[in-house]
A and B are shown apart, each in its own frame.
Chain A
């Protein structure tokens, strides 16, 4: 799964720590999500999308490899 959290953060000029605080997780969790190391829950995806005023699909995108596992 690809995501554009980093880009969206840059647009809104907020840090990982600030985003983490807004969606109530740790900064490290946001970092792991940005790096694609962690598949987050639907609820957290919806919250992050909400913070950026976007739809979930706009921020998170399926990759070819997601269909293989």
Chain B
């Protein structure tokens, strides 16, 4: 089926190449909080500190960019994996894709609403951090599970 909103299949592999190191480094840095001075560089900030009052706009400052790198690896990697075409993308797979995306959006926001009600302060900040990635993660899990079931369905071929 012709679609103009999906990426070519070969980008899926590149997605995994970005995503796997991203998730490994991400988990390790959550556990060990390394401060690697190699990543301390001067960055340009559109905004920093408080957004409304006491904010600095269009300034430069020193920052450890390890977390920025991890976030970008995870987001771009997951996007490429999620939205590259399957080897054989037909209309049934498009249907699975759509269903999985709607399903992932429901689950993602259901969890976010629970977090809004039950999680506070810095823990809520971390809930928001995870929420940056969970929509894509839930989509990937649901889509690949549905795809697996589709490929292994019982055939009535005689």
Contact = CB atoms under 8 A, between A and B. Distances in A.
Contacts of A44: 91
A31 B88 CA distance: 16
B92 A26 contact: yes
15 contacts: A15-B157, A26-B92, A26-B93, A27-B155, A28-B92, A28-B150, A29-B90, A29-B91, A31-B153, A31-B155, A32-B150, A32-B153, A35-B156, A38-B92, A41-B1
A38 to B, nearest CB: 6
Contacts of B153: 28, 31-32
A34 B92 contact: no
A35 B151 CA distance: 15
Interface of B: 1, 88, 90-93, 95, 150-151, 153, 155-157
Nearest to A34: B156
A25 B156 contact: no
B155 A25 contact: no
A68 B89 CA distance: 31
Interface of A: 6, 15-16, 24-29, 31-32, 34-35, 38, 40-41, 44
Contacts of A24: 90
Contact of B157 (A16, A25, A26, A41): A16
B88 A26 contact: yes
Among A24, A34, A40, A41, the one with the most B-chain Cβ atoms within 10 Å of its Cβ is A41
Given A38-B92, A38-B95, 17 more contacts: A6-B156, A15-B157, A16-B155, A16-B157, A25-B90, A25-B91, A26-B90, A26-B93, A28-B92, A28-B150, A28-B153, A29-B92, A31-B153, A32-B150, A35-B156, A40-B91, A44-B91
